[in-house]
Each structure stands twice: as C-alpha cells, then as structure tokens.
Chains A and B, each alone.
Chain A
Amino acid sequence: MGSDFYQFSILPYAAIIIKICRAYTNSQEDFEDYYQEVCLQIWRSKDSFNKKSQWSTWIYRLSLNVCLTYLKKKNNNSQHFASDSLPEELIDDSKTFSDEPINQLYAAIRQLSELDRAVILLYLEEKPYLEIAEIIGSNANNIGVRIKRIKQRLNKILHIETDTQGVTK
C-alpha cells in the first residue's frame, strides 16, 4: 500500500474504521486484524469508488461490508477488551475491570446481532435514517423502529433508566 494513500485517504478517517471494527471484535488482536483488513480492502477497492457518495460514507459502507464478511480466527487466547464477554447481568459490575462507560457500551453493542450493530453504530454517528438505510440497503421507514428497539435493548443491558418514550431519566 502506498504510504501516501494511507496517510491522506485512510488515516484522516481512521476514527470511522476504529469505531466499526471495535463493535465487531472482542480482543485487541482481533481488532488490529480487522482494522488492517479494512485498510487493505479500501486500498484494493479504491478504484471502484464512484464519487456518488462522500469518501467518508464509502468508508463506512466498505468497513461494514468487510466486518460482516471477515473470517474470525477460531482460537483466541488474546487479551479481551475491558468488560467484554461478561454475562449481561454482570456488565454493571464490570467496574472491577474498567469503569469506562464506552467499554461497557461496546460490550453491550457486541451482544447485538451483526446487523443491529451496524444500525446502531451509524445512528450513534448521527447519520440520518435515509443514509443509514442507504448504507445498509433497507427502507428508511423501518430504520427508526429498529433503532428504538436496539436502544431499548442497550439501555436494559446497561441498566440505563428511561421513561416510557425511551428518553433517559
């Protein structure tokens, strides 16, 4: 890979790749593998970028497609991210491992289905429903309902208290 391409076309968007890869991996080693794979595929597919969408949107799309079709290693003895792999009911006790709420949120996101992870990541990145639907390949009308359900599930896992409308108290 040309280092210029990485420096100027990937690195400024590394945050997107990092956020997505973390949602699909349980360990630092896996995360680094996924990150490298996404970078590799961006480089390989760069000529197919048709400029109809923004480069950042294309990176979201490609990163998700790569994470969804990545073959995970079978055996993994590497160190897990803080608070990962904890049973649902114990996640609130993960303070013994890490008190960073973002780690707990990631651990909760990783309990979702592959598709729900993609949907909630795009939502948290403040993508409009229409864009989420376009990236995923769904109807914008259904995205809102799905997001509401995913948020309810995450709130439950994280023990976040909400009112009947799902708004945090």
Chain B
Amino acid sequence: MNTSIEQIWKEGFMDSNAMIAPKIIDLYNKKSKNIVDKMETMFKWNLIGIVIMAFIVLIVTSVQGIPFLGMFIFSLLISTVIYGKKELATLALLDKNVSSYQYLKSFDSWLKDLMISYAKLYSFLYPALFLGIMLQLRLSDIGLEAISGFVNAFPETLMILATPMVILVPVAVIAWLLYYFAAPIYKADMYTLYGRALAKLDEIIADMEELKKA
C-alpha cells in the first residue's frame, strides 16, 4: 500500500454510504447494554427481590405463629434495602461529562467500594439470619423438648445459656463459616456475572495510567 493511514481515513469517508447512520428503532424502550446501567438494573432488581422476600417471610412466620422471628428477619432485610438504595443513589453521581480516564476511574472506585460494603453487609446478614432462626428454634416447643430430652439422656453435659455446648458449638461454627464465606461468595458471584467487563475495565485503566506517566 502506498497511501498513508491519514489519506485512507480521509478518502474512506468521502463515500457518503460510509456515513449512513443506522435506523433508530424504539430507542427509548431499548435496554441499555452499558456496564454502568446493567449494574444499576441488577442492583435495583436485587433490592426489589429482597423487599418481596421480606414480606413473604413476615407473612409466613406470622401464619406459623413465630412473628418475632419474622419481624427480626424483616427488619434485617429492610435495613439491607435501605442501605442498598443509599449506595445505588451514589451511582447517579457518576459524571459522563469528564475525560475517559476520570470516568472509568470513578466507575471503578464506585464499583469497588460497593463490592466491599456489600461484602461486609452480607458477612453480617447471613450469620444474623442463621442465628435468628436458631434462636427461634431453640425457644420453640420442638427446641425445648429436644433439649430437655438431650439433657435427660446426658445429664453431665456442659450447658451455656441453658443450651448444651454440643449444640452451641456447631451453631457458632456455622455462623462463623457464613460470616467468613459471605464476602468471597458475593465477590465470586460478581466476577461470574461481570468478570470479563471488569477485567477489561482494569486493563484500560492500567493502560491509561501508563500513558499518563510515560
């Protein structure tokens, strides 16, 4: 080829056919494929799902005669929603009217902060839900009967808070496992859904930083 890329570029767009804009069809109702909008939609649906679940739990537990457990779980879930809504509102502050570097950096840091805070939230939410259910079970007729049966069978058993140690220890271990693994599970979920896009984002930012300091 004997022409320069500048010439190819100029001549390439002289043909008016190269500049025909695609037809815009029902754009207003088109779903956005932008990662920022996708995340926003995903988090919104997540929050709606939690609200629905909170009400289902409240109704089911009330019908089952365990309204206190229902209210406890309901308040935990609703606090998660309030927290999530607050976090989501900060996404609207992302400004597209800045340089590509600033835009990608602000989105990246919003995303990382969100992942950290959600991971923390879930590390407390899951064990709290589990312990709430266990406490209700302990105070229920079935729980009281089971424990008195256990104590009768093993009168020497060590008791803490009127509960055999052999029951408390596994409960504590499970609660701790839920605390420990909630964050990695949440992160793994995020990377499964958006791993490719997140890796691309990191790559572009790294390239931009290199260009800035070069």
Kindly identify, within residues 187 to 214 of chain B, every residue whose CB is under 8 Å from any CB belonging to chain A: 197, 200-201, 203-204, 207-208, 211-212, 214
A130 adjacent to chain B (CB < 8 Å): no
Asked if A114 CB lies within 8 Å of chain B CBs, one says: yes
Instruction: Say whether B5 contacts A69, CB under 8 Å.
Output: no
B109 in the interface, Cβ–Cβ < 8 Å? no
- Determine whether the beta carbon of A155 is less than 8 Å from that of B100: no
A159 CB–B CB distance under 8 Å: yes
What does the 1/0 interface line of B8-19 toward A look like (CB < 8 Å)?
110111000011
Is the Cβ of B104 less than 8 Å from the Cβ of A69?
yes
Residue A56 is within 8 A (CB to CB) of chain B in the complex: no
Nearest-Cβ distance from residue B62 to partner chain A, whole angstroms: 42
Is A136 in contact with B204, judged by CB distance below 8 angstroms?
no
* Closest Cβ–Cβ distance, residue A68 to chain B (whole Å): 6
Verify A45–B97 contact, CB threshold 8 A. Answer: yes
State A159–B4 Cα separation when bound (angstroms): 10
A interface residues, how many (CB within 8 angstroms): 66
Main secondary structure of the interface of B (DSSP, over half): helix
B11 A70 Cβ-Cβ under 8 A = no
Q: What is the chain B residue whose CB lies nearest that of A123?
A: B6
A151 in the interface (beta carbon within 8 A): yes
Query: Min CB distance, A121 to chain B, in Å?
Result: 9
Of the residues A31, A48, A102, contact of B97 by C-beta under 8 Å: A48
| Residue of A31, A68, A101, A160 touching B204 (CB-CB under 8 A) | A68
Question: What is the interface of chain A mostly: helix, strand, loop, or mixed?
Answer: helix
A100 contacts B12, CB within 8 Å? yes
**In contact, B27 and A40 (Cβ under 8 angstroms):** yes
Determine whether B107 belongs to the interface, using a CB cutoff of 8 Å to chain A. yes
With a cutoff of 8 Å between Cβ atoms, the chain B residues found around residue A115 in the complex are 204, 207-208, 211
A 55-86 to B, binary, CB cutoff 8 A, 1 in contact else 0: 00010011011101111110000000000000
Q: Which residue of A lies closest to B96 (CB)?
A: A45
Report yes or no: A102 in contact with B11, Cβ–Cβ below 8 A.
yes
Q: Smallest Cβ distance from A81 to chain B, in angstroms? A: 11
- Which residues of A, 78-121, contact B by the 8 Å Cβ criterion? 92, 100-102, 104-105, 113-116, 118
Q: Write 11 A-B pairs (CB below 8 A) sorted by A numbering.
A: A1-B27, A31-B22, A66-B34, A92-B1, A101-B1, A102-B8, A105-B8, A124-B9, A142-B214, A154-B5, A168-B7
Binding site for B on A (CB under 8 A): 1, 6, 11, 14-15, 17-19, 31-33, 35-37, 39-41, 43, 45, 48-50, 58, 61-62, 64-66, 68-73, 92, 100-102, 104-105, 113-116, 118, 124, 134-139, 142-143, 145-146, 151, 154-155, 158-161, 167-169
Residues of B at under 8 Å CB distance from A?
Answer: 1-9, 11-13, 18-19, 21-22, 24, 27-28, 30, 32-36, 38, 95-104, 107, 197, 200-201, 203-204, 207-208, 211-212, 214
Closest 6 CB pairs of A and B: A102-B12, A137-B101, A137-B99, A168-B4, A14-B21, A32-B22
